[in-house]
Structure 1
Amino acid sequence: MNDDPDLEAAYGLEGPEGSKKLYAQWAQSYDSSFAADMQYRAPNAVAQCYTRISGASPVLDLGAGTGLLGAELMRLGVSAVDGTDISPEMLAQAKKKGVYQRLFEGDLTQQLDFETGAYAGIVSSGTFTHGHVGPEALSEVLRCMARGAWAVLSVNAAHWEALGFETVLEREAMQIAEWHKDDFALYGKGAQGSHAKDKGWLLQMRKA
């Protein structure tokens, strides 16, 4: 099977305008042409991890996309979830799932439009990856979190190494009470193409 051209384009993105253009085109078919075909595991893995270590709400889903992570959280009993994404077209698909209290456009590389410490939990799947958001956004993630809140973020493993996530975590150490990471397979056994065996980290951090 050939590589998904949309996935290849996503891994090669540069800057927010490229993201907006790609996801405007991909939004309607994302769940079927990518998530289902590749057996995309990140939304379930993040939701399972978050409910295990915290489960507190309200929760903010960063890079909510079409709402796959929000749907998993609802299935596991986590209510009061908001979602933000850079793509209005992806958010329109997320709205159809009926799992979010609030959806709003936002660029995680900039400051989001709400007060510091607004959320009891932060989750994200598929946003911290090639061509998307790097470790520089962790400071904004921490700003969003109330004291003692947990964040669970999926991070593409190669992206983690290439951009130096651990260096940034060390720099933010005064704000982080603890953090650790667990590895997982981004895609299921039925996935095909050059990215089928890609790995990810589940970054878990608690705000001091």
Structure 2
Amino acid sequence: MKSKSKGQTLLENAYKLATPTDNKAYYNEFAETYDAEFANALGWEYPNAIATVYRENADSDHLPIADIGCGTGLVAEALGFKPDHIDGIDISEEMLATPRKKSLYRKTIQADLMGDHAPIKNDYGAVVSAGTFTSGHVGPDPLERLLDIGRSGALFVIGVNRAFYLEAGFDPVIRDLEARGSITDLRVTEVPMYNKAGHDHSSDKAFALCYRKRPSD
């Protein structure tokens, strides 16, 4: 039997996490090696895909950006903005240390999406996320409350693991927000998660949920 790589083992163990405390401890432990052992080793294309969807739909009003579950800052690197245009939010303080060293963000904020959103400033022109809404991490519950961190008309590009999207019931939640008029211009686009063949998750996909917060009347 072919042995699994360190990156694949890290990924599969991450999918088994159960609580915010589990997530914080897990990512604190391997924060320093995340880029090399996971992202580079498995060809983590997801941040680039989310950045592409943002660029295809954004204009000059969609700044600054809140990067939710930013990890080591790979979405910020893919976007290529100056640090004063983007903030990084993550549950793991150790993970946030890496993008601070890279000088990617205006500021970094340690916050739990399942808890209090007060630490997250509420004037963002856009909210993006890659890798946070997936098995063992965060389900659809925070989606409505996350609208509060963006200003009127803010652009949201939220990546959700495709299998988890169906398993965790994201579709009825996002469709309800649309039906109630809380969001507009909803588009759901399938995007790749990896660009390297040869591992068990090479063909995994995600959905990029792209929508705007309802403009104020």
Give me the TM-score of the superposition, normalised by structure 2.
0.89
Name the CA distance, whole Å, in 2 between partners of 1:115 and 1:71: 21
> Per-residue CA shift, 1:120-174, capped at 9, x if unaligned?
0000010011110111110122111111111111110000000111111133232
Compute the displacement of 1:178 (Å).
2.2
Instruction: Decide whether the 8 Å contact of 1:51 with 1:78 is kept in 2.
Output: no
1:125 partnered with 2:149? no
Instruction: Decide whether the 8 Å contact of 1:111 with 1:140 is kept in 2.
Output: no
Q: Which of 10, 35, 45 is equivalent to 1:6?
A: 10
Q: Which of 152, 177, 186 is equivalent to 1:179?
A: 186
Residues 116 and 140 of structure 1, relative CA distance in 2, 3 Å threshold: farther
Residues 102 and 116 of structure 1, relative CA distance in 2, 3 Å threshold: closer
> Per-residue CA shift, 1:169-195, capped at 9, x if unaligned?
13323211221111122111x243322
What aligned pairs does 1:7-156 form with structure 2 within 5 A after superposition?
7-55=11-59, 56-74=62-80, 80-114=85-119, 117-156=122-161
| Runs of 4+ more than 3 Å apart | 114-117
Q: % of aligned pairs identical?
A: 35
Compute the displacement of 1:15 (Å).
0.8
Instruction: Decide whether the 8 Å contact of 1:95 with 1:103 is kept in 2.
Output: yes
Name the CA distance, whole Å, in 1 between partners of 2:43 and 2:158: 19
Compute the displacement of 1:116 (Å).
7.2
Paired residues, number: 206
Residues 199 and 98 of structure 1, relative CA distance in 2, 3 Å threshold: same
Q: Flag structure 1 segments of 5+ consecutive residues without an equivalent.
A: none
Instruction: Decide whether the 8 Å contact of 1:116 with 1:143 is kept in 2.
Output: no
Q: Flag structure 2 segments of 5+ consecutive residues without an equivalent.
A: none
